[in-house]
Structures are given as structure tokens and as C-alpha cells.
Amino acid sequence: MQAYCMKCRKKVEMRNPKAVTLKNGRPATQGTCPSCGTKVFRIGK
């Protein structure tokens, strides 16, 4: 799954994606950027 990395300023393929649920019940996916190691986040399935 792809997400936007704020540090690299580009879309990257998420490493170690993990499904999470936001406070309002919406699904999201959280992982890390493969090049810089920063957390990346994407709302939705």
C-alpha cells in the first residue's frame, strides 16, 4: 500500500503496514517509510 511521506515529500510503498482504527471508527493503515524510517499514515482501507 502506498502513502505520502512528509519527510521525503513523495509517495512511497509502506513497510510493515498495520491496520488501525481512529477514534471516530474510521479504518486507517500505519507503517514506515522504507527510505527514511518515518511513520507514514493513510486513512481508509
Confidence of residue 44 (pLDDT cuts 50, 70, 90): confident
What pTM, to 2 d.p., does this model score? 0.82
Parse the chain into domains and list their residue ranges.
Answer: 2-43
Extended strands (E) in the chain: 2-5, 10-13, 15-21, 27-32, 39-43
pLDDT digits (tens, 9 = 90+) for 7-39: 999 999 999 999 999 999 999 999 999 999 999
